[in-house]
Amino acid sequence: MTERLEIKDLYKVFSSTPAPALEMLARGCGKSEVFEKLGVVVGLNNVSLSVPQGAVYMIMGLSGSGKSTFARCINRLNEPTAGQVLLDGRDIVPLGEAELREVRRTRISMVFQHFALLPNKRVIDNVEFGLKLRGVPAAERRRRAEEVLTVVGLGRWGYHFPHELSGGMRQRVGLARALATDADILIMDEAFSALDPLIRTEMQDELLRLQRTLNKTILFITHDFQEALKLGTRIAIMSEGELVREGTPQSIVLEPGSDYVAAFTREIDRSRLFDARLAMRPAETILQSEQGTLVSEAGGCGFMVDGSGKVLGVLNASDLGRARAGGGIGPLSSDYVSVRPGAKLIEVARSYRDGRPIAVVDDDGRLIGSLGVDDILARIASTAPRAQAAGERHVQG
């Protein structure tokens, strides 16, 4: 995947004379020390991250941790104090007014928590607004606006005024407005946070559905970890203006790395997040025979696989014992369950019937591992912050 958006060493200091604060940060001081010493607020402290094309990238953190500042620095609603914002490799921080306006019109759309709709304009005119600024002809922008309003479920509301709509509906107009512009990067700052739970869930589903066809690059800010898990392909967690943890949802829950991050993950239902690959034991060769290769199974049985790794059948525990002792390979049974590596553990647990062995097989039917009920329970039970994983960022909180 290409990097659509790359943020490098980004700093935001809310001061007209930021140099002393930057100097303190460079020495390793944190946001609170800078505030104590200089009375200056640090919004971002050396944030770097990459957002690949097509990702739904989640930014999380407690209130005041710098999420909105980060989002606003990306399209320069906040001017970065130092660092780069690379859009397809081009730094947009040095751009002049005209070029920046062009980037905002054509590349980056923002959806805020409280979307400012123009109250004296009809819904459809609100949705068309960005296109009008871009000089899109009237008929074309009307067609496009009607299309996206239908997409967000407001097809019949285009000719009403914002005050005639509920808060949730207005939020959807905001989303429609952002979608209508064709910008390939969407920044959504707590876009669903003000919605009631039912509508919020609907909007999340809607966004996921849209994303499958639109394939935009989405930076989504939330303080709700459930939302981050549901929507995100990757999650970055901020604290005190710094990025303290970055990774896939699964890896963050598995290894939060600090108490600050672990606190977000505590209530998460791991059986719905973790997949079979994470809990399985990799297939290990026990012996080769002319029938095929015999590999161990988590429950004490053995799977026989052919030369390409496809499962031929399973050998029960006593036959496996005999085979190990050199007593030949007994009859193979087809009494086992197959799951895909991406199957969530809750589904795997449901398919765990009568103690039958579970094979984890890839799309071509090749065995990559196996798992028993103990492996599932062990994974689901793991809650403690664990040691640092290779290639992933952590700080101690």
Residues that bind ligand ATP (CB under 6 A): 14, 41, 43, 61, 63-69, 223
Q: Which is nearer to ligand ATP, 41 or 343 (CB)?
A: 41
CA distance 89 to 85: 9
Q: Minimum distance from CB of 212 to ligand ATP (Å)?
A: 28
Q: Which does 223 bind (CB under 5 to 8 A by kind): Mg ion, ligand ATP, none?
A: ligand ATP
Q: Minimum distance from CB of 209 to ligand ATP (Å)?
A: 27
Q: Minimum distance from CB of 41 to ligand ATP (Å)?
A: 4
Q: Which is nearer to ligand ATP, 77 or 317 (CB)?
A: 77
Q: Minimum distance from CB of 70 to ligand ATP (Å)?
A: 7
Q: Which is nearer to ligand ATP, 43 or 80 (CB)?
A: 43
Q: Which is nearer to ligand ATP, 61 or 372 (CB)?
A: 61
256 burial via Cβ count (<10 Å: 0-12, 13-18, 19+)? buried
Q: What are phi and psi of 147, to 5 degrees?
A: -60, -50
Q: Minimum distance from CB of 242 to ligand ATP (Å)?
A: 11
Q: Which does 365 bind (CB under 5 to 8 A by kind): Mg ion, ligand ATP, none?
A: none
Distances (CA, A) of 277 to 50, 119, 321: 26, 51, 27
Q: Which is nearer to ligand ATP, 41 or 100 (CB)?
A: 41
17-25, 34-42, 46-54, 59-67 -> range binding Mg ion (CB under 5 A):
59-67
Q: Which does 30 bind (CB under 5 to 8 A by kind): Mg ion, ligand ATP, none?
A: none
Q: Which does 69 bind (CB under 5 to 8 A by kind): Mg ion, ligand ATP, none?
A: ligand ATP
CA distance 191 to 112: 5
CB 59 within 8 Å of CB 241:
no
Q: Which is nearer to ligand ATP, 65 or 265 (CB)?
A: 65
CB 271 within 8 Å of CB 250:
no
Q: Minimum distance from CB of 346 to Mg ion (Å)?
A: 33
Describe the strand order of the beta sheet including 41-52 as a list of residue ranges.
41-52, 3-14, 82-87, 90-91
Strand partners, 110: 187
Q: Minimum distance from CB of 79 to ligand ATP (Å)?
A: 11
Q: Minimum distance from CB of 221 to ligand ATP (Å)?
A: 7
Distances (CA, A) of 91 to 80, 106, 134: 12, 16, 22
Q: Which does 217 bind (CB under 5 to 8 A by kind): Mg ion, ligand ATP, none?
A: none
Describe the strand order of the beta sheet including 337-339 as a list of residue ranges.
281-282, 367-371, 358-361, 337-339
Q: Minimum distance from CB of 393 to Mg ion (Å)?
A: 22
350 contacts: CB under 8 Å, gap ≥ 6:
none
Q: Which residue has the tokens 């034991």?
A: 281
CB atoms within 10 A of CB 71: 21
Q: Which does 14 bind (CB under 5 to 8 A by kind): Mg ion, ligand ATP, none?
A: ligand ATP
Q: Which does 130 bind (CB under 5 to 8 A by kind): Mg ion, ligand ATP, none?
A: none
Radius of gyration of the chain (CA): 26
Q: Which does 86 bind (CB under 5 to 8 A by kind): ligand ATP, Mg ion, none?
A: none
Give the x-and-dash track for 19-58 against Mg ion (CB under 5 A): ----------------------------------------
Q: Which is nearer to ligand ATP, 31 or 230 (CB)?
A: 31
CA distance 196 to 201: 9
Q: Which of residues 61-90 bind Mg ion (CB under 5 A)?
A: 67-68
194 contacts: CB under 8 Å, gap ≥ 6:
113, 114, 167, 171
Q: Which is nearer to ligand ATP, 18 or 66 (CB)?
A: 66
DSSP 264-312: HHTT--HHHH-BHHHHPEEP-EEEEETTEEEEE-TTS-EEEE-TTSBEE
Torsional sign, CA 191, 43, 232, 378 = negative
Q: Which is nearer to ligand ATP, 60 or 276 (CB)?
A: 60
Kindly list the residues in this chain that would bind Mg ion in the complex (CB under 5 A). 67-68
